Amino acid sequence: MCWAWGTMPLFSTRVLDLIEGCHDQPSAAGVGAAFLHRLGAYGVQALNARAYRTAAELGTMGHVYARAAPAAYDGLYADPRFYRFNPIPREMERSIAPKRWTAMAWPGKGGQWLLRAMREHPCPDGLAIPCHGPGGYLGVVSLGFERLESLAPEEERAIALAAIALHARMRDLSPVRARAPGPQLTERERDCLGFVAEGWSDARIAARLGIGTATVATHVVNARRKLGARTRSQAVAQFLLHGL
């Protein structure tokens, strides 16, 4: 079986709707601005996409791909304490899953100051999405929400996958690191990863394709390695972005 875009089920269509019009922007900042516009329907008011190439950069601004927020945030972003006390990069360094701001630890007086300052702004909570890469590279897409509590789990998952895919696009457009041409997946690798994108279990994929669950897992691992992805979610995001 080979995937065709016109026949992909609902979840991946939602992810593609978020990506559409963003990935073909000519600059990383343009990708971020277009993505923020798409996310307006979900109550997203702020976007900060950054990269950290080494552990030593985690307490700094890092490399900013795109940043857009209400003017009320300008003073906070200009304060050097924002980067020194912000726990999000370190939390994302050891995480492979998105995490809400308020679910993180904000240690010390500096962390508590920053948490209070962020809550006083138009986005009382947000979602931080890790985007890992080779050589210790860490990318983070942080999204500030007006009403994160009203977001459905499937919407949150779609936003996270779109963010991972578009972070890769911003990285492509940035001088921080040049990327090699996209990898070639086998037909079975594309099939298995496509079903993973829909949230199918390995057992369900195996039954659909008439192969063993261990074989499904092997195909997914091989696809993930070819895509340079650390997790299945990152592999799926690359799969959707590049139409593999």
How many C-beta neighbours within 10 Å does residue 146 have? 15
Model-level pTM greater than 0.95? no
Q: What is the pLDDT of residues 160-210, one digit of tens each?
A: 999 999 999 999 898 655 344 456 788 889 889 888 988 899 999 999 999
Alpha carbon dihedral 12, 34, 100, 76, in 10-degree steps, equals 170
Q: What is the pLDDT of residues 61-75, one digit of tens each?
A: 889 999 988 887 888
* 127, burial (CB in 10 Å: exposed 0-12, middle 13-18, buried 19+): buried
Domains, the chain, ordered by start = 10-172 (3.30.450.80), 182-242 (1.10.10.10)
Alpha helices in the chain (DSSP H): 10-19, 28-39, 74-78, 81-85, 88-93, 108-119, 153-172, 187-197, 202-209, 213-227, 232-242
